[in-house]
Amino acid sequence: MAAKVPKKGLAHLTADNVDNAAPVKKILDELHHKNHQAYTFYKEVLRPRRTIGTEDHMHYTLPGHPINTFDEEWDGELNLDYFEPFRYKSLPPKMITKLKNVDKSDPVTSLLWKKIQWQRTITNYKCIATTLKVLENYEQINEEVVQCPKHLIDIAAHLDSDPTPHFNSSYNWYYAGNGNLQTVCIDWVDYLLHSEFNKVYLSEFNKNILNINPEHVAEYDCGDENNILETIISSEHITVLRTKCKIFILKLTKIIDRITFEKLKCIKSELPYTSVAFDNYHKNILYITSLDHKLSIINLDRMKARSVQLKAKLTTLTDNWNSVVSSEKLFYVHAARDSISIYDKWSNNVVQVWKNLRKITDDYSCNDISVAKHFEGTSSLYFGTDHHLFLMDLRYGPRNNSKVVQRWTHGMECVPTYLQYCKSEFCKDLICLSSQWCEDMCVVPNYNDRLIRDTNNGGVTLPYRPPNIRNTLYGARENMLCLNPYNPIDSRICTSITGNLILDQGEKYDILLQNAFGDISCHTLFPEHLETFMEDDSGESLHKWSETYKTHDNDLEVSSIENIAGVLRKLRKMPKDHRINDDFQNQKSIFNENEIVKAFEEEEIDIGLKEAWTADVNETRVNESSNNNNLYYSDDESHSNVENTEI
């Protein structure tokens, strides 16, 4: 008879069995073995609930402050300067382009809508098949012939009609990457390179006044059913356009005073492409990735390509987004859904694979990588997931591997798809993260020497969410603007975002967002001390922009009239002797003004308060703390006339 093995008791977490003087890493390692329930409780508390009773909690409202790595000797204490405030603000965005493409539909959400409709039909077919028990009438006569109800044939035909067999996501990852909005300088003149539907345009762009010339300098048509998903341009003015199954390589050439797009090559593939990117170190190298993790390395000088099969465990091709980026001399980085891999440039062999994404996120089930950017001239890789933005140190060696050193919770409603940055203040970068939803955009400042900076000194800033275009619309309607009932612009301003761009304007920063119709809006970030000098004309600008928006000529008609007889029967006639607003009538003052003036004369009250007591009712006091002046302005005179000044 086998001996009975006693059950192992669960160790309880108490203050006695935790060495509070030990390094944090040691405490966490021991705690994990001593009491697994502590980790389970931690995970359950942080996991967002969709509903708790009658309260709704949106999936994107994931709690969490920015965190970073510490050394093994960290005692768990945060310095006072660990968190830094973001000393910039933003006005509501305003449109800087003219209205166009009114008669077209959003190509980003059209794909999602087609897929949803297809899935709903499949669900209905399955319900009918279960109700009618169609499988009971299925009979195989021989190896080539079967007898079955027509309903099964309809299901099979519908399964074959899948509009996007490799797509089953909540956002359109086909448009993820660098976006369709770039800047280019040709002969000291600034231009904006932007793509809409199946065409790419080059337009003159004045950065100082944010003016985009509506007359395009050059354009290129990729053909029908070839919507441009990603647009990039190199320092040599090589333009690459990624469509679903085609890559167009163009070059901007200038002949006398005319700029044109010259087609260099067109590459086709049976499987969809997922990303295109230039090597920021070797400027003549282009990386193209496809759905099956196949990398094409193209030498733009010779127009020759080399194919590399990236190391990855492919269980399915559905939603298999991936991208390759590089800013280093010796290696390039492959970002997949759940891993970051480093490859040697000369041998194309994998050097290191990082798969610890699930270990550094609080929500296990939905934190896939959706965007990655390798900053030029650094070893910093920024990548975003459903809920977080991460900074990875790409430096590696025989003993040290690449690791994530910082994390932010961005709080965006949709999965981030675009990441841009620019140089900010001294030793800082300004990262702009956005998704395809018009309300989703956040700005994160970070030190560009974070990889070698002492993490105990802090310098961590919470992501800043500027006002969005819908806030502009609400503000305009409060001022009785944008109220056309026949052509409301609510759906127009909610068009999907297909590109973002951040521009350094000295003390200020301009963030441009382009939607799928080609409308470009601008956020202006400015220092807090300039707030009093900034003029908000976003509402007037949006109203002027929307005046040309016209979708149909139908007038509003009365379709029904509500019966309000029940309300009328409850109305009562007000008595004639009823007094209105008695509570708001001015009552007799309980103070005797003559006694107060006498108190001032006898210096019983500070004489400095006399002017405030004797000032006219329509005079307004303005306090300027900068020069300690007290100025009195009269409403019936201009503010330039100073009546009294005290220094």
State pLDDT tens for residues 346-383.
999 999 999 888 888 776 667 889 999 998 888 889 99
Cβ partners under 8 Å of residue 251, min gap 6: 236, 237, 238, 239, 261, 262, 264
Grade residue 37 by pLDDT with cuts at 50, 70 and 90.
low
Question: Does pLDDT of 644 surpass 50?
Answer: no
Cβ partners under 8 Å of residue 386, min gap 6: 60, 363, 366, 367, 368, 370, 415
Question: Does pLDDT of 459 surpass 50?
Answer: yes
- In this prediction, residue 571 carries a pLDDT of 85
Which residue has tokens 């086909």? 174
With b for 16 or more beta-carbon neighbours within 10 A and e for fewer, the 52-61 pattern comes to eeeeeeeebe
Give the phi and the psi of residue 378 in degrees, each rounded to 5: -135, 175
Rounded mean pLDDT, 544-569: 83
- In this prediction, residue 627 carries a pLDDT of 40
Spatial distance between the Cα atoms of 36 and 30, rounded to a whole number of angstroms: 10
Radius of gyration of the chain (CA): 32
Higher pLDDT, 379 or 645: 379
State pLDDT tens for residues 398-423.
677 888 888 888 888 889 999 998 88
Which helix H or strand E contains 639, and what residues bound it?
A: none
CA 64 to chain centre: 17
Q: Are 270 and 288 in contact (CB under 8 A)?
A: no
With a pLDDT cut of 90, the percent of the chain lying above it is 32
State pLDDT tens for residues 377-402.
888 899 999 888 999 888 877 677 88
- In this prediction, residue 515 carries a pLDDT of 92
Grade residue 505 by pLDDT with cuts at 50, 70 and 90.
confident
Residues paired with residue 497 on neighbouring β-strands, in sequence order: 515
Question: Does pLDDT of 643 surpass 60?
Answer: no
State pLDDT tens for residues 12-29.
545 555 566 666 666 666
Q: Are 238 and 232 in contact (CB under 8 A)?
A: no
Mean residue pLDDT of the chain comes to 80
Rounded mean pLDDT, 139-163: 78
Q: What is the pTM of this model?
A: 0.77
Which two structure tokens, joined as six digits, stand for 154? Answer: 């309809």
Which two structure tokens, joined as six digits, stand for 501? Answer: 């761009």
Give the phi and the psi of residue 77 in degrees, each rounded to 5: -95, 140
State pLDDT tens for residues 596-623.
777 777 777 776 676 666 665 455 544 4
**Domain map of the chain by residue range?**
603-647
Spatial distance between the Cα atoms of 266 and 115, rounded to a whole number of angstroms: 29
Grade residue 245 by pLDDT with cuts at 50, 70 and 90.
very high
Which segment of 2-11, 201-210, 258-267 scores lowest on mean pLDDT? 2-11
| Euclidean distance between the first and the last CA atom of the chain, given in angstroms as a whole number | 101
In residues, how long is the chain? 647
- Helices assigned H by DSSP within 454-608: 469-478, 490-493, 538-546, 565-570, 593-601
- In this prediction, residue 594 carries a pLDDT of 78
Antiparallel, parallel or unpaired: β 331-335 and 323-325: antiparallel
Question: Does pLDDT of 4 surpass 70?
Answer: no
